[in-house]
Homo-oligomer: A and B are copies of this chain.
């Protein structure tokens, strides 16, 4: 089954954004050589989609049967490598690329899960896993606790974007417009979360520390 052009275009956009993000993370966090930067960029860009394809049983993953994914991921990583000095001036770019990858992949992950015949709950979950998977591999590789665990509002926007996608497919109104809206909402929530430091509830603190998220827990 060839993927729809919409799915492919979105997927490649997310792949490029995550390739850039992973490579910039590599340069900043560990200052790796060309091969290390390429490897971390491609792992970030392709990881989420690979996990999704393994879990829905679509093997070999699209990443390997379709060279465009490999090319776009490597391209994003190479751009980040060669322009790293310039890109470092724009400190927010790394966050924005991550948000774009997150927003796009939750939509394509949910879309593809439905296309493979799984149910709506599974699609929301796998859309989220697709979105956060690459970044999680990236964080583990450079020895950070994964964003999905520590960063408030990292999984939440992905869940919302995946849920909107599933809803639109269920209502029969899914298309370019609704896919872009779902991805856009996810990106907006993510960036708003970073900007305004939004938080989801935490467990009550033990020693009475102040905790903004306390009451709602």
Q: Which residues of A contact B (CB under 8 A)?
A: 26-27, 30-37, 39-40, 50, 54-57, 59-61, 64-65, 67, 70, 81-82, 84-85, 88, 116, 118-119, 121-122, 125-126, 136, 140-143, 145-146, 148-150, 152, 154-156, 199-206, 213, 217
Contacts and interface: CB of A to CB of B under 8 A. Distances in A.
B203 A152 contact: no
Contacts of A201: 33-34
11 contacts: A32-B202, A33-B201, A33-B213, A35-B152, A36-B150, A56-B59, A56-B64, A60-B118, A64-B126, A81-B217, A85-B203
Stoichiometry (number of copies): 3
A171 B200 CA distance: 52
Contacts of A31: 202-203, 205
Given A146-B141, A150-B32, A61 B65 contact: no
A85 B149 contact: no
Nearest to A61: B55
Contacts of A61: 55
Residue picked from A54, A60, A67, A206, most chain B C-beta under 10 Å: A60
Nearest to A209: B31
Given A30-B149, A141-B146, A199-B33, A59 B65 contact: no
Given A65-B118, A121-B67, A217 B142 contact: no
A143 to B, nearest CB: 6
Nearest to A147: B36
Given A35-B148, A85-B206, 17 more contacts: A30-B145, A32-B202, A33-B152, A33-B202, A34-B201, A34-B202, A34-B217, A35-B152, A39-B155, A40-B149, A50-B55, A55-B61, A55-B64, A57-B59, A64-B126, A84-B203, A140-B141
